[in-house]
């Protein structure tokens, strides 16, 4: 029996997302072993969005977390996480939602990111209005081109954030999801170059008499590199469940797949194709069709078409699949796949023993 198989498959409806807690715990311990100080870990909650996995990390000594939504921040607050960075721009109604969160969970030190003078002023105004203080990190654009201010332009924004009422500037946040080179030596060269303008910015701040800023940087691909940088905080997220995409492109990281999709053959539309119940609503579909899913027990299957409720697969002539057959698959990208499910089915020794609610699915 393979590690992912269920004993009583007919008792589980599909599509389902199975999670294996022993493997989750292995991944947490593997992450800790890759860094010199556990206080430099700030794992991202977006991958799992569950209280139970958060608690496993807390029980393992992790105290700092990162998230991307108010719902994830609220979940972390409810778990009693001591330190939470919400790494997403706050505008409109999110400003008051965040301020309310800060006040509702006093045991958690929440922080936000800013990358523009208007963002600083609006966050300051909401902090003053709510008679509270909000910690902030300046979000830096180190090549992703999505959010953040260029490091060479960030000095005055840092100064404003340090002087304006209601805010306590903490340092810098930088995400580098564009860095995905398979060769780790080349990946390191790119990460080192990306950090150079941050180092110059820090030196300028120190020369001007500022306290040394904190730096929260990177994701899964750059984690092994920045884990070797003294003092910076690292924020990988996918490690906890892992996926086929990173397993193929980050071979130096020895994490185990800990979440598996269970699906069934629902139709045999032609002599060489089968259809399974793994539509858009069951697996992340942002990648190209051929790069969305990998079937563990039948790796030769190739996607032909994908729609809301159906995934048609080329199975080959004279295949022996029957309607009702169960397949097990790894998503290429686990994070948005988790967000499609209300619950994770917890599997221990081939049996479903519990359900973990994906409480932070919403924004």
Give the tens place of pLDDT for each residue, 174-233. Answer: 999 999 999 999 999 999 999 999 999 999 999 999 999 999 999 999 999 999 999 999
Residue 1 has pLDDT above 90, yes or no: no
* Alpha-carbon span 240 to 334, nearest angstrom: 10
Say what percent of the chain tops pLDDT 70. Answer: 100
* Alpha-carbon span 245 to 181, nearest angstrom: 13
Is the entire prediction scored with pTM above 0.85? yes
Q: CB of 167 within 8 A of CB of 200?
A: no
Residues 107-126 as b or e (16 or more Cβ within 10 Å = b): ebbbbbbbbeeebbebbbeb
pLDDT of amino acid 188: 97
Coil/strand/helix, residue 212: coil
pLDDT of amino acid 206: 98
Query: Taking residues 47-59, what's their average pLDDT?
Result: 98
Strand arrangement of the beta sheet that strand 134-140 belongs to: 64-67, 83-86, 109-114, 134-140, 167-174, 214-217, 233-234
DSSP H or E run through 266: strand 259-270
């Amino acid at each position: 029996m393979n590690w992912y198989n269920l004993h009583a498959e007919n008792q589980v409806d599909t599509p389902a997302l199975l999670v294996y807690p022993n493997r989750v715990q292995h991944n947490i311990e593997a992450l800790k072993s890759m860094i010199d100080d556990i206080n430099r870990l700030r794992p991202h909650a977006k991958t799992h969005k569950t209280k139970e996995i958060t608690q496993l990390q807390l029980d393992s000594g992790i105290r700092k977390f990162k998230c991307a939504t108010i719902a994830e921040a609220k979940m972390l607050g409810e778990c009693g996480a001591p330190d939470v960075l919400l790494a997403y721009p706050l505008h409109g109604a999110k400003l008051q939602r965040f301020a309310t969160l800060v006040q509702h969970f006093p045991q958690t030190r929440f922080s936000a990111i800013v990358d523009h003078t208007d963002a600083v002023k609006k966050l300051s105004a909401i902090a003053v209005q709510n008679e509270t203080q909000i910690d902030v990190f300046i979000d830096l654009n180190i090549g992703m081109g999505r959010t953040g201010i260029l490091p060479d332009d960030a000095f005055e924004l840092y100064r404003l954030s340090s002087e304006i009422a209601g805010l306590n500037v903490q340092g810098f946040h930088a995400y580098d999801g564009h860095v995905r080179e398979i060769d780790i030596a080349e990946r390191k060269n790119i990460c080192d170059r990306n950090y150079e303008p941050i180092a110059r910015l820090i030196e300028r701040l120190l020369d001007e008499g500022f306290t040394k800023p904190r730096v929260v940087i990177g994701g899964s691909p750059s984690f092994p590199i920045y884990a070797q940088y003294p003092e910076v905080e690292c924020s990988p997220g996918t490690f906890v469940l892992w996926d086929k995409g990173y397993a193929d492109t980050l071979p130096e990281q020895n994490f185990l797949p800990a979440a598996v999709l269970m699906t069934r053959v629902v139709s045999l539309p032609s002599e060489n194709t089968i259809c399974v119940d793994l539509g858009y609503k069951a697996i992340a579909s942002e990648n190209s069709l051929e790069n969305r899913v990998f079937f563990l027990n039948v790796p030769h299957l190739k996607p032909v078409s994908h729609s809301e409720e159906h995934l048609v697969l080329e199975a080959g002539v004279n295949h022996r699949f029957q309607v009702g057959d169960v397949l097990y698959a790894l998503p290429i990208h686990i994070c948005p796949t988790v967000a499609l499910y209300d619950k994770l089915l917890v599997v221990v020794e081939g049996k479903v023993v519990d359900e973990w609610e994906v409480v932070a699915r919403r924004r």
